[in-house]
Structure 1
Amino acid sequence: MTIGTKIAWDDTVLPFQLDRSDIRGRVVRLDGVLEDVLRQHAYPPQIEALVAEAALLTALIGHTIKLRWKLSLQIRGEGAVRMIATDYYGPTDEGEPARIRAYAMFDPEALDAGAEPFTQIGNGYFAILIDQGEGTVPYQGITPLTGNSLSACAETYFAQSEQLPTRFELSFGRSTLPGEGEQWRAGGVMLQHMPKASPSVAGEGGSGEGGLLTHADILDGDEGENWTRANLLLDTVEDLELIGPQVGPTDLLVRLFHEEGPRIYDPQPLRFGCSCSEDRVRQSLSIYTAEDLADMITDEGVLTADCQFCGAHYELDPATLGQQPDAGGDGA
């Protein structure tokens, strides 16, 4: 698609609240971040689409959490796509950007070029992991893969694990700006009902796929009507409004939700960022025995490691590692 002039909202998350409906939300725009994520790898189109969707979800979900360090999404499957992993690192200081990285593991020979990307994951699970840093216990929530998209899986996760009705509307793809080459652009809106003090769930099972919960099992009365109304308004959004760049997020919110009393907060900038380092590689190798390390040495006499997220390549002298390989030793 060819689109118009670029605006300053790229690579940002804009938080908002709909006062009439008791709903909070986020608008996200990604261009440079997504380019940086995807150009690290020569993914086939189906994998690019899944990674783009996962990165969008990560940006939206990460910003809703009071995060001191890292939120991760993991999608694991039994099909051609084995895993999609993303990380969102919260800003280290006020005004600083949040950082995102993502990658996928897949069997290229098992991919079906004519099938929809999501179907190539197969059976599996969708997980959100929250790590608030040193001295804390990481949180992990898991739900089965459901629906026909990663967005649907995320909606099910929030309904089932958090009892929070949530809606995602995303768009992503390659686009062309006048005078520039083709590049990835993506955008989306997240709606989420404000947390209730004591959410009540009707019945023993949910009305969703496999008995999982949906918003209808959590909300009723005025809350249910408000949620339905806000979702009907979001249904009118168009792909070009989501990805921009001609329509600013604030203009989009007014267009969609002007009757809901949208309240807009400060935007959060986003950047591609990886936390890999030689020190982290050394730490990960410290769990191996000398015998294990000996098996990893290349013909050139070094240990090598590659970061799946950013492609960084590390070469380490075995003699500088904590457990030095010893071909004639006992592996201690």
Structure 2
Amino acid sequence: MTIGSQIAWDDTVLPFQLDRADIRGRVARLDGALDQILGQHDYPPAIEALVAEAALLTALIGQMIKLRWKLSLQIRGNGAARLIATDYYGPGDDGAPARIRAYASYDADRLDPDMPAFDQIGEGFFAILIDQGPGTLPYQGITPIAGGSLSACAETYFAQSEQLPTRFALSHGRAEGWRAGGVMVQHMPKASPFAQGGGSGDGGLLAADDIVHGDDRENWTRVNLLLDTVDAEELIGPEVQPTDLLIRLFHEEGARVFDARQVRFGCSCSEDKVRNSLSIYSAKDIATMTTDDGVVTADCQFCGAHYELDPRTVGFEAEGAEGRP
């Protein structure tokens, strides 16, 4: 693709590479997908902001990994924002869009409208989980909540767990609908020598400057200084296209772009999965879950889907073949 190509950029991730700096990256734009994620719930503003940032991070990180199935982010804390969870499902077929979903669990009584959204997480951890599907062992990497934002947590994760200098510039907002945009830059893996001992980040965690040296550090510093000049409107769009943004930021870095990839809101919940999750329970257990109306109910936290099941047809003591009467 030529860097001036005109395409529809909403709900897309554009991969690029800075050949002169040995750095790769992504530019992401979310609008309809983010609207659907947040439209499933009536979150307070602080929780909306955290979910928007986590969803944008997930779209950027998911596109960086050779993913056959699912990447998840989990942010858990002891503050009012107890959990932010996202899932990114890689495209099943060539040319198909990736799917993304997200939700939050929070204590409304503890939310402080005057406190920054990130501070309402408190102490906890930031985790990335990668599941490549049946026949593989899931991978999980964890780093403490640190740095003042979810993007800073993600940067710490890549420095600490992957030894990859990584930087995010993100923005999100709501006018007629939700929009979010961001840039991710990351040193190519071969440019990241293994760091020993403690780092210069919060609590002695590794940071990008602890990993890059010599020419790599000069390149990394230069690209970060260029990224520092970006503003929120350029990130969110829609007036500034990602290709134009890359030209403005990195025209001297040998920027090369690849095919943009689509992202859509998508949930993997189903009645079969609800039944499977209930298959470990006895008829006595199922009876305690049965409502006064005589049904077992389940609600998907991600998309709001509501399921009502006949209690006789669920659990390992269900009536009939395959749990059917």
Please state which band the TM-score falls in when normalised by the shorter chain: over 0.9
Aligned partner of 1:312 in structure 2 is 305
Q: TM-score normalized by structure 2? A: 0.94
Structure 2 residues without counterparts, runs of 5 or longer: 1-6, 320-325
Tell me which amino acid in the other structure corresponds to 1:188.
G
Aligned partners of 2:97 and 2:262 also within 8 Å:
yes
Pair 1:154-2:147 in alignment = no
Distance 2:67 2:220 in 1: 26
Aligned partner of 1:273 in structure 2 is 266
Aligned partner of 1:232 in structure 2 is 225
**What aligned pairs does 1:107-146 form with structure 2 within 5 A after superposition?**
107-146=107-146
Pair 1:263-2:256 in alignment = yes
Secondary structure of residue in 2 paired with 1:26: strand
Tell me which amino acid in the other structure corresponds to 1:121.
I
Match of 2:283 among 283, 290, 293: 290
Aligned partners of 1:81 and 1:121 also within 8 Å:
yes
How far apart are residue 289 of structure 1 and its match? 2.4
Structure 1 residues without counterparts, runs of 5 or longer: 1-6, 176-181, 327-332
Q: Percent identity?
A: 74
Aligned partner of 2:23 in structure 1 is 23
Distance 1:276 1:300 in 2: 23
How far apart are residue 238 of structure 1 and its match? 1.0
Aligned partner of 1:95 in structure 2 is 95
Match of 2:185 among 191, 194, 198: 191
CA change 1:20–1:198 in 2 (3 A) is: closer
Aligned partners of 1:76 and 1:124 also within 8 Å:
yes
Range moving further from structure 2, 314-323 or 292-301: 314-323
Distance 2:305 2:42 in 1: 15
How far apart are residue 321 of structure 1 and its match? 1.6
How far apart are residue 207 of structure 1 and its match? 1.0
Distance 2:35 2:117 in 1: 19
How far apart are residue 290 of structure 1 and its match? 2.2
Distance 1:134 1:324 in 2: 27
Distance 1:79 1:298 in 2: 32
Distance 1:118 1:248 in 2: 29
Aligned partners of 2:286 and 2:314 also within 8 Å:
no
CA change 1:325–1:298 in 2 (3 A) is: farther
Match of 1:242 among 228, 232, 235: 235
Distance 1:156 1:197 in 2: 17
Distance 1:254 1:136 in 2: 40
Q: TM-score normalized by structure 1? A: 0.92
Task: Give the superposed CA RMSD.
Answer: 1.3
Distance 2:72 2:39 in 1: 20
**Cα deviation 1:123-160 (Å, max 9, x = unaligned):** 00000000000010000000000011000000000000
Secondary structure of residue in 2 paired with 1:196: helix
Secondary structure of residue in 2 paired with 1:38: helix
